[in-house]
Amino acid sequence: MTETPNSKAGLQDVIATVSGICFIDGEQGVLSYRGFDIHDLAEQTSFEEVCFLLWYGRLPTRAELGNLESEFAQSRTLPENILRLMRSLPLANGMDALRTLASALAHTDPDAANNSPEANQRKAIRLTAQLATLVATYGRFANGGAPIEPDPAIGHAANFLFVLTGERPDALAARAFDVALILHADHELNASTFAARVAAATLTDMHSAVVAGIGTLKGPLHGGANADVMRLLLELGAAADPEQIETAIRERLTRKEKIPGFGHRVYRTEDPRATHLRRMSAELGARAGQPQWYDMSRRIEAIVAGEKGLNANVDFYSASTYYALGIPIDLFTPVFAVSRIAGWTAHILEQHANNRLIRPRADYTGRLYPQAFVAIDQR
């Protein structure tokens, strides 16, 4: 036993479990769900198809996709007691509200006490449908609006934007948000997914394991970077002259301040998710008459890449993408949960299917054993 720092602090590169859900090659910039490349999924599938893929291990047939879409539609409406609880909460932090409301949903779920694989699959569907409505409705309440009943005739991504804004989104907006949900749906053993799996390994219920993931996502070292990116863009927006922006960013780098949205714990090349979000940021910004956020982002990206050799991650361009879609900044991290619930529940299902309690050991760095014990009167 020594008192040297642990070379595996933060479990860096430690293999903690086996999983067939998500594969990442950080050197090559590869992200895949169940073996399917993220680029193919983002370009050719819907979020509902990706949910099916994550939960059942394969892409759905047309009939299976229709059934899942119907189950989502039947599950989106929030129980009245959940709406009453939401109204009673202080409108301060969306993640605090989401944590409380997701936990409360367990009291309304008919399968709450049933931990069978079939019941957990039903809960995964309900939770994915309900969390989207929770976050969108909370956003309406925060802006003084009344709740809106989800529309069973439109898809998951379109319903979120509809419930949030009260307006049915056009095809470009709905598809952009759909792709954003696909890109965020899973990411191997990120902090919140690992927390959900640790909880699930105790054989607790699915709602409790999901709440563990939500609580972990709330931490600023995991969620929230895209909100910080947008706040930075807005701060710089008052001085949108390119030279002033460049000066401001270089001054921050000189002071060794972190520019949010750059670098990644796993990727050593471009985050493949950023590739799609960069394009959507440009398209949506131009359509909304707000091209400045994308232009500023590109300028900042060039400076940080040149000065620090860091690539933009998933958070950097999701900021301006969400902003152009009319999503309030305070909802950016809860929106992450709207997507990642698909991955959390897939990992919970996988953990329960071949479970063993997750109980790692610690590399002890404290005082050497044995210490001489001194009686309290002699200390």
Active site residues: 264, 315
Instruction: Please tell me the distance from the alpha carbon of residue 131 to that of residue 331, in angstroms, as a whole number.
Output: 12
Q: Side chain identity at 277, as an amino acid letter?
A: L
Q: Which two tokens stand for residue 25?
A: 């090659």
Structure tokens at 367: 């005082």
C-alpha to C-alpha distance for 99 and 80, rounded to whole angstroms: 18
Query: Which residues, including other chains, have CB under 8 Å from residue 161's CB and lie 6 or more apart?
Result: 136, 167, 169, 173, 174, 177, 325, 326
* Residue 155 amino acid letter: G
Q: Please report the DSSP string for 9-49 in residue order.
A: GGGTT------SSEEEETTTTEEEETTEEHHHHHHH--HHH
Q: Which residues pair with 33 in a beta bridge?
A: 22, 36
Q: Fill in the DSSP letter of residue 257.
A: P
Question: Which strands form 30-33's sheet, in the order they lie side by side?
Answer: 22-25, 30-33, 36-37
Closest CA to 72 of 148, 159, 198: 159
